[in-house]
A and B are shown apart, each in its own frame.
Chain A
Amino acid sequence: MGRPLIHRSPMPGLGLSMGITLTMLSLVVLLPIGALLLKGANYGLAGIWETVNRERVWAALFLSFRLSLFAALFNLVFGVLLAWVLVRYRFTGRRILDAAVDLPFALPTAVAGISLTALYAPNGFFGQMAAEIGWKIAYTQWGIFIALVFVGLPFVTRTVQPVVEEIEREVEEASATLGASRLHTIRHVILPMLTPAALTGFALALARAVGEYGSVIFIAGNIPLVTEIAPLLIIIQLEEFNYDAAAAIGIAMLLISFAMLLVINLIQVWSRRRIGYV
């Protein structure tokens, strides 16, 4: 109660830094998001529900969420493995591998999108191989899955890597002296220590995948009800100048984002309270 809003400090630049921060945050982020929420408020809950509660929209939201979940799960497993390999093992090419993990962050999504399509299309390098066994990847949900794995790849690895680096060797040694096999140590000592970071990375990858657009639309085929993702629906509504419907779907997606942000924060609070570190 008695805590002042801003503690007195001898540091200079309070007004300037606070002014720039709050002004730009409002102008660039908060006001536009507010505009979306306002639009939704004007449209009304009933209106939003009416727009969202259509087969095509549900299908798109469900598709986006489901495939994002699968892709994030894949990245959870592969990302932890990658973090472990990059920190613990020394082999030629490790640095290149380490740098390559960030490529999905650095490579523009449209570039990734057309490139993945070229690879997995029926006449593409991997597409041909898959076609041999009658497996169609591009223009099916498999294609979307692969694109979402690509964009979410760095998250788990990059959150888990520093935690692996910080594991004290003595803790692993202690487990061994108590008679635990290496596998037991990994399962009961190492993985629990990595869990909070891995879950954070998982949630970040999931959030990213749900909203992903650029890398997906080329490979998806965009068939309504089958391979049409939620962000694309917004674009379609906008192209038809159907702003209310676009806003309704946008709000639905925003709520999913907020929910995930909340989950990430809860994970961090939980792990801090339980283990005393993140």
Chain B
Amino acid sequence: MHIEIDEISKSFGTTAALHPVSLSIPSGALVALLGPSGSGKTTLLRILGGLEFPTSGRVLFDGQDATGLSVQERRAGFVFQSYALFRHMTVFDNIAYGLNARPRASRPTKAEIARRVTKLLELIQLPDIGARYPSQLSGGQRQRVALARALAIEPRMLLLDEPFGALDAKVRKELRQGLRDIHDTTGLTTVFVTHDQEEAMELADLVVVMSMGRIEQIGKPQDVRAKPKTAFVREFISL
């Protein structure tokens, strides 16, 4: 799905988290929102997911105005930084949650839900953990379950907030490849937020460098690296 961000701004009280920003994300792209904390990247992601409402501007999904769509209507697969797994549910129930939450008319049958969950567990390469609770999983496993849970609703796009932030360096590298693979198999337009320039450069097709609520540069990783547009970008990617 093609995502168009049109002059979106957001302020909390009197402080501006986002100055009007515009960004076009082609269908099927894997995009990194890169910037230090406070740069507005998470706010932008939350606006895409419908968790935050922009102060001004529009969001277009495939050319349709989606600004007023509620979170539920957006069908954005969202992976939270803390994963936000439901601690009182098994991994299976976590992944099945979005399907079970559908109104009866469009809810798949139990057998169909089980089939899909099993398939997703295979996709994240953890076929045997369906009966476990989140507290019994490692950090990397939790992240993958959160990803599977987001994928279960057959999302129109995938939004990830610092997906590797809480993991140690080794697991981080493995999961990066995992995300790339899942993106390539599903073909979903994917946006992830990161403050790690190496991660953004290695993983993304398109890097959006942000600072202080503004977009500093949009470009392919090698272009951003070769030709930083502003002093901020030059400094940030040389870290």
Interface range for B: 20 to 34
Q: How many residues of A contact B (CB 8 A)?
A: 21
Contact mask for chain B residues 88-103; partner A; CB cutoff 8 A; 1 contact, 0 none: 1100000001101110
Which of B71, B81, B100: most chain A Cβ within 10 A?
A: B71
Q: For B74, list chain A residues within 8 Å (CB).
A: 177
A171 B97 Cβ-Cβ under 8 A: no
Say yes or no: is B213 at the interface (Cβ < 8 Å to chain A). no
B87 A275 Cβ-Cβ under 8 A: yes
B37-95 at interface with A (beta carbon < 8 Å): 49-51, 71-72, 74-78, 80-82, 84-89
Say yes or no: is A12 at the interface (Cβ < 8 Å to chain B). no
Say yes or no: is A125 at the interface (Cβ < 8 Å to chain B). no
Contact mask for chain A residues 58-97; partner B; CB cutoff 8 A; 1 contact, 0 none: 0000000000000000000000000000000000000000
A177 B51 Cβ-Cβ under 8 A: yes
The CA of A274 and the CA of B90, in the complex, are separated in Å by 10
Q: For A170, list chain B residues within 8 Å (CB).
A: 80-82, 84
A94-115 at interface with B (beta carbon < 8 Å): none
Known A-B contacts A170-B80, A170-B82, A276-B135; the reply to A177 vs B49 at CB < 8 A is yes
Chief secondary structure at chain A's binding surface? helix
Smallest beta-carbon distance B168→chain A, Å: 21
The CA of A177 and the CA of B80, in the complex, are separated in Å by 10
Say yes or no: is B133 at the interface (Cβ < 8 Å to chain A). yes
Residue in A closest to B152 when the chains form the complex, CB atoms: A178
B84 A176 Cβ-Cβ under 8 A: no
Smallest beta-carbon distance A164→chain B, Å: 15
Say yes or no: is A277 at the interface (Cβ < 8 Å to chain B). yes
Q: For A193, list chain B residues within 8 Å (CB).
A: 87-88
Smallest beta-carbon distance A38→chain B, Å: 45
A183-197 at interface with B (beta carbon < 8 Å): 184, 188-189, 192-193
B98 A179 Cβ-Cβ under 8 A: yes
Smallest beta-carbon distance A179→chain B, Å: 5
A180's contact among B51, B72, B81, B88, by CB below 8 Å, is which?
B72
B80 A173 Cβ-Cβ under 8 A: yes
Q: Which residues of B are at the interface with A, using a C-beta cutoff of 8 A?
A: 49-51, 71-72, 74-78, 80-82, 84-89, 97-98, 100-102, 133, 135, 149-150, 152-153
Can you identify 9 A-B contacts, CB atoms within 8 angstroms? A170-B81, A171-B86, A174-B84, A177-B72, A179-B98, A179-B101, A184-B101, A192-B89, A274-B88
